[in-house]
Amino acid sequence: MCGRYASTLPPEMMVELFKLLKSIDIVPRYNIAPTQPVAAIWEAQGRREGHFARWGLVPGWVKDPREFPLLINARAETMAEKPAFRDTLKHGRCIIPASGYYEWHTNPDKSKQPYYITMSDDRPMALAGLYATWMGPNGEEIDSVATITVPANPQLSEIHDRMPVILEGAAVDDWLNVRDVRAAEAGQLALPLADGVLKFHPVSTRVNSARDDDPGLIERAEIAKPQPRVKKVAGGGGQLDLF
């Protein structure tokens, strides 16, 4: 799954890269977590605009968002059938700009090592997403999003078995074009990137805490090597024996 990411794109770069009509007021973020507001892009009446939305999809038919489970990811294999995602795949496709994302590898001792994953040439990512607008009984509105995941390619499977859908080139335009590109066609765009398009490195476990949000989180960290266990040999005068 994709549960944390960074977005450090300047507003003017977002306008140019993603063909926005106007910029949105964003600041660099290095540890964006579920339930937080995120910048997302979608089209309405043929106009492409940036919006802020809650990360954690709330379909429009939900009665009380507080009692609905947190949906931060949608599996590409099942999103066309799941009630929570079926309509948004038809009418609510979006992209979520990112500089990179984090994934946690489970070590043999069950500890988890975070990695920061970026494009191999450091260009920005366009994460495929779905959005919905929930309207409450008193007129309140909540825009919300979920990212889409697929099975990891062989390179990324070293870290985790899933990865986000990252769109490139014309696929971005087709994904956002809900007027002319049907859900079935859009679903075919949800594919893992080829090996070699991404790169990754280990980072500090400080990223585990959503309270930490600074440039140091994306810097390479050294992974501590496990130390061999030792025991004293009986009657050995304090000698240590490796085993």
44 contact partners, CB below 8 Å, separation of at least 6: none
How far CA 6 is from CA of 62, 88, 99, 110, 222, in Å, comes to 29, 24, 6, 25, 20
Rounded-to-integer distance, Cα 171 and Cα 221, Å: 34
Considering the candidates 43, 103, 141, 219, report the single residue annotated as catalytic.
Answer: 103
Find the distance separating the first CA and the last CA of the chain, reported in whole Å: 38
Rounded-to-integer distance, Cα 6 and Cα 17, Å: 17
Rounded-to-integer distance, Cα 3 and Cα 147, Å: 9
Residue 2 designated active-site: yes
User: Are 147 and 72 in contact, with CB atoms under 8 Å apart?
Assistant: yes
Residue 103 designated active-site: yes
Active-site residue numbers? 2, 103
